[in-house]
Structure formats: C-alpha cells, structure tokens
C-alpha cells in the first residue's frame, strides 16, 4: 500500500486487500496452527502460525504503514513487544532509559533484564545533556516515552535521535500514549517504535496486544528471528480485534483529544486541584515541543489534588462514568491512582523524586459526551474535597 495515501485511508486499507482465496472484503480470522503444503518445502507463504499467520500479517502491514516503517511485528502484549526489543541485546550491553516511564517497563529493566547481564541507567530525558552524559562504550540503546506516563512530560525525540545516532545506539520510543495518529517516532529519528496496542490502537479495552515497527532491514531480520525463537505472538482473534480497532483510530483520537481539552480546561478552574498536566495547555512545560513533534495533544491527563492522598483516592472512588481501573486509551473514560496502580513497581522515594506523589490522579478521557464527563468529575471532586 502506497505511503501517499492519508492516515485514515491507510488504517482501513493497508495490508487489507480482499482475501485471495474467497474475495472476503474483511481480513478473515485465520484460526489455524498450520498450513497444508503443496509439496515438501512448497508452501504459500505461511507454514506455522508462530512464524506467520495471515490475520496477524494484515495487522502488521497496517501498523507498519501507520507508523511509516516497512516492517511491523505484532506481539501478545505491550510487555511482550518490549521484551522482544530487549532480546536484541546481549549480556554486557547497557541501555540509557528515560526515568519517566511505565512501571511495567521499569520492573522488566530493574528486576528481570539485569539477571541476563544487561545494565540500565535512568536519566531525566527532558534534559538532553543528561542523556549524553549517561552513555557508556557498551550503550546499545536509548529508551524513551513521550508523552510520559503519568505526568505527560515531553521528550525531544529528534534530539534523542541525534544523540543515539552519534553514539551508534538504537533509539526506541514507546509511542503508546501518542499513537501513530499523533506522532511518528521513526520520522523523528527513532529506529524502533513500539506500542501497547491494548491501549488506543485496539481502542475498546477488549484485547491485550503489542507491536513493534522498524524501517531497518537488519533490525527486521533480528526481530523476526528472535520473536519466532521466543514465541510471544498474538493469536489470530486478538490480531483481528486489534486490526478492527486500528481502522477507527483517527476518529477516536480526534474525539479523545476534543474531550481531553474540554476536561482539562474545566479542571484548571477547580479549587480542589493544585495542578493539571495536559500538553495542550499553553502553560504546560512541553507545550511548544508537543506542537513541534506531535499532531495533537492526545487524550491523557494527570491532576494533583490539593487535598493530597485522601482526596485523590476519594476522587478515584467517586466517579460514576470514569471507571477506576488499570489501562488507558479505550473508548470509555478511566481514572487511576498511579501511586499504587500503574507505578506501583517504583520505590516511593523514586516516585516522589519524579513528581508522582500520592496526590496525583491519572485520567484517560474517553469518547463519551464531554458534558457528562465534566459533570461526573464535578460531583466526584465535591466528594473528594469533603474527604480531603
């Protein structure tokens, strides 16, 4: 599928030609383990579904197109995708990591990968000079998220790409929060972009998945080999659900953003709230950078309650439309308490140092009507104020 087609068109057509065997317009769910061969060593492109499956291949081609890379890899979860990228490393290698990151990635980098001899240095990536200083001769990878989870800080992807290139390292960007609709890291200098497709790409909170996209043939070969060797693939139904979600990503992201902007504006004026973190607000420290490297500001925001932990927890427990739960990026609004939920894996002093205090609440703004979302938050904030 040609890259000249616009995003919305590629989301619906890339990798999704009518089925060769039947003409089915929608990519079928190829619920099969194996593919009957015409003769020994003579197959039609697929042999065994761990190595390749047509439904998964359609999803991979679509995601590659949306991210502007040639090669897409679907994984069983976002963490499987992250592990897949980690498998590019060997004992003795070193990774520089932006310290504002998803708790699950932090857990993998601090509690699992070191057992295999891979070392990690955590830095404040909003300051590129800190990144440069953390590089060692064995540094093979620079790992960042932007916007970050949960405080929506912005990291300059092009500046990181420049450092990684100069140092001969891969720049990996976890693009889950931004989505390919709002940001394409490969075009900004990254060599690997990855997603928890569980979030915005799947979009309906009904399927766990992950994806990696690269444009480099050498990386493609290594990822193909290691994923086949280690086996973290999604089943065809999950690939199909994720592909169905991806078709409406553009529509949903526009609504997520419109609602998030409306909710952020409402929250800024509330007396119960000390701070609203949303890159679309002009006083957000990353606002100008977001304008440069993104095509919008997304649907995530974080707030700090004046009433501290008590008020923050009460807010999370008092909303009626915002479900209290892990995850983000679904059509339904979610509310979460990073301190003990998404960021539970970080030590308390580390969380405080990064500004993820007990007063922080994270909100994934869904695509319900903004009036209803604001009204729900208003009633919940009143309850939080009484508690805090």
Q: Which stretch binds ligand PLP (CB under 6 A): 21-29, 84-92, 169-177, 260-268?
A: 169-177
| β partners of residue 212 | 73, 194
Element (H, E) at 192: strand 192-196
Closest separation in Å from C-beta 14 to ligand PLP: 22
Q: Residue 311 and residue 307: Cα distance in Å, rounded? A: 5
Q: Which residue has the tokens 């939920």?
A: 341
Residue 189 interacting with ligand PLP (CB under 6 A): no
If the CB atoms of residues 16 and 342 are measured against ligand PLP, the closer one turns out to be 342
> Is 353 known to be catalytic?
no
Largest pairwise CA distance in the chain: 74
Q: Which of 53, 83, 126, 149 binds ligand PLP (CB under 6 A)?
A: 149
Angle at 36 between CA 34 and CA 40, to 5 degrees: 115
Residue nearest to ligand PLP (CB): 78
Which residues, numbered 210-249, are part of the site for ligand PLP (CB under 6 A)? Answer: 210
If the CB atoms of residues 95 and 385 are measured against ligand PLP, the closer one turns out to be 95
Q: Which of 140, 199, 351, 362 is catalytic?
A: 199
Q: Which of 75, 102, 106, 278 is catalytic?
A: 102
Over the window 45 to 84, marking each residue x when it contacts ligand PLP by CB under 6 A and - when it does not, the resulting string is --------------------------------xxx-----
Closest separation in Å from C-beta 213 to ligand PLP: 14
- Selection from 295, 160, 88 nearest residue 173 by Cα: 160
Contact between 351 and 343 under an 8 Å Cβ cutoff? The reply is: yes
> Is 174 known to be catalytic?
yes
If the CB atoms of residues 135 and 339 are measured against ligand PLP, the closer one turns out to be 339
What number of CA atoms fall less than 13 Å from residue 370's CA on the CB side? 15
If the CB atoms of residues 107 and 258 are measured against ligand PLP, the closer one turns out to be 107
Exposure of 321 by Cβ count < 10 A (0-12 exposed, 13-18 middle, 19+ buried)? middle
> Is 102 known to be catalytic?
yes
If the CB atoms of residues 10 and 362 are measured against ligand PLP, the closer one turns out to be 362
Q: Residue 125 and residue 101: Cα distance in Å, rounded? A: 10
Tell me phi and psi for residue 292, to 5 degrees.
Answer: -75, -45
Q: Which of 19, 50, 222, 291 is catalytic?
A: 50
Distances in whole angstroms, Cα of residue 315 to Cα of each of 138, 265, 343, 363: 46, 18, 18, 11
Q: Which of 87, 139, 146, 176 binds ligand PLP (CB under 6 A)?
A: 176
Q: Which of 196, 205, 242, 333 binds ligand PLP (CB under 6 A)?
A: 196
Tokens of 352: 């405080």
Residue 179 interacting with ligand PLP (CB under 6 A): no
Q: Which residue has the tokens 């697929």?
A: 46
Closest separation in Å from C-beta 96 to ligand PLP: 18
- Selection from 317, 341, 332 nearest residue 373 by Cα: 332
Q: Which of 30, 71, 73, 102 binds ligand PLP (CB under 6 A)?
A: 102
- Selection from 97, 133, 126, 132 nearest residue 114 by Cα: 97
Q: Which of 174, 215, 238, 376 is catalytic?
A: 174
If the CB atoms of residues 60 and 272 are measured against ligand PLP, the closer one turns out to be 60
Contact between 117 and 95 under an 8 Å Cβ cutoff? The reply is: no
> Is 337 known to be catalytic?
no
Q: Residue 103 and residue 167: Cα distance in Å, rounded? A: 27
Q: Which of 15, 54, 72, 104 binds ligand PLP (CB under 6 A)?
A: 104
Closest separation in Å from C-beta 327 to ligand PLP: 6
CA 78 vs. chain centroid, Å, equals: 8
Closest separation in Å from C-beta 32 to ligand PLP: 25
Active-site residue list: 50, 102, 174, 199
Chain contacts with ligand PLP (rule: CB under 6 A): 77-79, 102, 104, 145, 149, 174, 176-177, 196, 198, 208, 210
């Amino acid at each position: 599928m040609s890259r000249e087609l616009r995003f919305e068109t590629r989301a619906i057509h890339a990798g999704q030609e009518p089925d060769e065997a039947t003409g089915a317009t929608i990519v079928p769910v190829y619920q099969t383990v194996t593919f009957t061969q015409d003769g020994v060593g003579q197959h039609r492109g697929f042999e065994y579904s761990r190595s390749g499956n047509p439904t998964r291949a359609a999803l991979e081609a679509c995601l590659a197109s949306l991210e502007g890379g040639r090669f897409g890899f679907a994984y069983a979860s976002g963490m499987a995708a992250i592990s897949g990228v980690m498998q590019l490393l060997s004992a003795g290698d070193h990774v520089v990591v932006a310290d504002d990151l998803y708790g699950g990635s932090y857990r993998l980098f601090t509690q699992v990968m070191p057992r295999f001899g891979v070392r990690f240095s955590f830095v404040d990536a909003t300051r590129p000079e800190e990144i440069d200083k953390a590089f060692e001769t064995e540094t093979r990878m620079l790992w960042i998220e932007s916007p970050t989870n949960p405080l929506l800080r912005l990291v300059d992807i092009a500046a990181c790409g420049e450092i990684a290139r100069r140092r001969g390292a891969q720049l990996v960007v976890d693009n889950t929060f931004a989505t390919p609709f709002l940001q394409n890291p490969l075009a900004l200098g990254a060599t690997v972009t990855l997603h928890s497709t569980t979030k915005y790409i799947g979009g309906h909170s009904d399927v766990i998945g992950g994806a990696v996209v690269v444009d480099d043939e050498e990386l493609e070969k290594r990822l193909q080999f290691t994923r086949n060797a280690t086996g973290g693939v999604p089943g065809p139904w999950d690939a199909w659900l994720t592909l169905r979600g991806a078709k409406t990503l553009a529509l949903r992201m526009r609504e997520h953003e419109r609602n998030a902007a409306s909710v952020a504006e409402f929250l800024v004026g509330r007396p119960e709230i000390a701070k609203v973190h949303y890159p679309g607000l002009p006083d957000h420290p990353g606002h100008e950078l977001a304008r440069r490297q993104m095509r919008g500001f997304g649907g995530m925001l974080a707030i700090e309650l004046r009433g501290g932990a008590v008020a923050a927890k009460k807010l999370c427990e008092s909303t009626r439309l915002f479900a209290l739960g892990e995850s983000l990026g679904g059509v339904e609004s979610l509310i979460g308490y990073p301190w003990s939920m998404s960021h539970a894996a970080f030590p308390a002093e580390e969380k405080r140092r990064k500004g993820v205090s007990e007063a922080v609440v994270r909100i994934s703004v869904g695509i319900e009507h903004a009036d209803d979302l604001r009204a729900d938050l208003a009633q919940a904030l009143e309850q939080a104020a009484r508690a805090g």
